[in-house]
Amino acid sequence: MALPRYPARTLYLRTLGFSEDPFGLIPDPRFLCLTSQHGPLLERLFGTVERSSGLVVVDGHAGVGKSIVARRLESYYLCQPEEYRVAYLHNVPLDTEYSVLAAVSDALALNRRKGVEGQWDELAAFVKSQAANGQATVIVVDLQDDPAREVIAQLYEIASRLAPVFVFGKPSLAVALGRVPEAAEQAYHYTLADLDLEDTVTMINFRCMVAGRNTPLFSSESLMYIWEATYGNPSDVINICGRVLNAMSTERLDAAALPVVTSTTQAYLEAKLR
C-alpha cells in the first residue's frame, strides 16, 4: 500500500476526524456539492442523454466548477457500463474536424482511419452498434482553450447525428459557438457562476462530511469572511480552506479560528495579485 505523501499532515487530518483531504485541488466527482445551480444543471444534462442527442455548452469563468461537473457526468455513466459508453476529452488538442473525430475515437478505443470521412464512418458504426446492443454513447469535452470554428462544427455534427455531446469551457466559448449559427441556435447553453453565501457554506460543510468529519470545521464568522473575500468563487474557497488546514496543522489547532482564517485568506489573495 502506498504511503501518504505528507504523513504528518495525514495524521493531523485524522485527529480532526478526516479520513482524507476535504480540500484537494484535483476535480473529484465525489466532492461535487449539488448547490442551487449545480444540482439543477446536472438534471438538465442527464435529460439531454435521455433524449439521445443534442449539443450542450456549459461555460463560466475560472474556478466555478466546470471540470468537476464534467467529471461527475463522466463518472455517473462510467458506473453504468452495461448501458453507456463514455468518451471523456480533457486537455486534448482539438483544432480541426479530424482531430475531434480522432480524439473521440481514441477515447472509445476505436481504430484510426484516414481522413474525416473514414474516421466518421468508424465512429458512426460504433455508436450504431452500441445502440443496437442497448448501450448509449456519451461524449464529454472539457476545453482549456477557445475552440476553432471547425471544432464546434464537428462537435455539433456528432451531437446532431450520433450522440449527445457536452462541452465545458471559458465564457468565450459562447463567442466560439456563435461562429456556427446552426449550433448556436440548437445548442443548450448554460452558464455557471460564483456561489452565494448559503451555497458556499453548504459546499464547505459537504466536502468536510465526504472526507469524514460530521461537525463544522469553520465558525459562521470564518465562513462569512471567506465568502466575502472570494466573492463565492468555488476554486478560491477550496484553495483557502486547504491552506487554513495547513496553517492549523503547523500550529496544531483543533478549530479554524478566525485570526488564522483571515491571515491565510489575505496571504492567498495577495499571492494571486503578484
Residue carrying the nine cell digits 468555488? 234
Confidence of residue 3 (pLDDT cuts 50, 70, 90): very low
Q: Is the pLDDT of residue 98 over 70?
A: yes
Return the higher-pLDDT residue of 47 and 101.
101
What is the average pLDDT across 42-60?
A: 87
Q: Specify the pLDDT at position 6.
A: 57
What average pLDDT does the structure give for the chain?
93
Residue 40, pLDDT > 60, answer: yes
| Lowest pLDDT segment from 181-190, 222-231, 247-256 | 247-256
86 band by pLDDT with thresholds 50, 70 and 90: very high
Per-residue pLDDT, 125 = 97
Q: What global pTM score does this model have?
A: 0.90
Check whether 256 has a pLDDT greater than 60: yes
* CATH 3.40.50.300 at 38-191, yes or no: yes
